[in-house]
Amino acid sequence: MELKQFRIDLETQLKQAKLDHTPVRPFICSGSPFNCKIMMVGYNPAREVNLSVFDHDIWDDQMGFHRDNFAEHYDIASYNGDMQWNRNHIFQQNLIDQLCNYAVIETYLYSAITPKKALLESELKHTMIFDWLYGVIKPTLMISQNIEVIKYFERQTNQLLTRNTFNTIEYLGRHCIMLPISHLSKKWGKTEVAALKNDIYELFDLIQN
């Protein structure tokens, strides 16, 4: 699939999910989503940045998603809203920066943006967009440190997922490796993040060999 078709198809999916008139952020990545072997899954996006999903400043059909441009808008929105980056976000960005050998796509179980997850209305709690992205991108590894996301996959796969361990799961008919990270990772420093990076690199070495 080409990037233009990806954009067209996702716009169609958003309409079908009745999210085309709702503030959403289905994904963030650097370049083409199809290069991403790792999917980092959150509950739902919390910060509005006043950009459409495929705003010309963060997306083009030749290169894909411009993460650096998005980060500038995100920082401005954070400053204007007097909101601090939380520990989950800092951990996530630190890990993505460490994983320079593998492209990461950040996505969410639920795409609608709300400042607090408790404000997410029941009709917006569906995984249509996430499921579509999962099927199209076909990640090798999914990572989540959100307990509700982890519990969702435990229910869907009917298995208990061991924290801080690579678990093989089958979701939507395809196998994937799931890494549920303990909530204690909020307090991890550079040493712990670097160790996790090494574990992920070793995993990919085993898969590729």
Bridge-based pairing state of the strands 103-108 and 36-42? parallel
What pLDDT is attached to residue 89? 67
Q: Pairing mode, if any, of strands 36-42 and 59-60?
A: unpaired
User: For residue 186, with 0-12 CB atoms within 10 Å meaning exposed, 13-18 middle and 19 or more buried, which class applies?
Assistant: middle
pLDDT at 182: 81
Q: pTM (2 decimals)?
A: 0.91
pLDDT digit of tens for each residue in the chain (209 aa)? Answer: 999 999 999 999 999 999 999 999 999 999 999 999 999 999 999 888 889 999 999 999 999 999 999 988 877 655 445 455 555 666 777 788 888 899 999 999 999 999 888 999 999 999 999 999 999 999 999 999 899 999 999 999 999 999 999 999 999 999 999 999 986 556 677 888 889 999 999 999 999 87
Cα angle: 142, vertex 17, 152; to 5 degrees = 35
CATH topology of domain 3-208: Uracil-DNA Glycosylase, subunit E (3.40.470)
Tokens of 91: 């951990």
Yes or no: say if 141 and 19 are a contact pair by the CB < 8 Å rule: no
Boundaries of every domain in the chain = 3-208
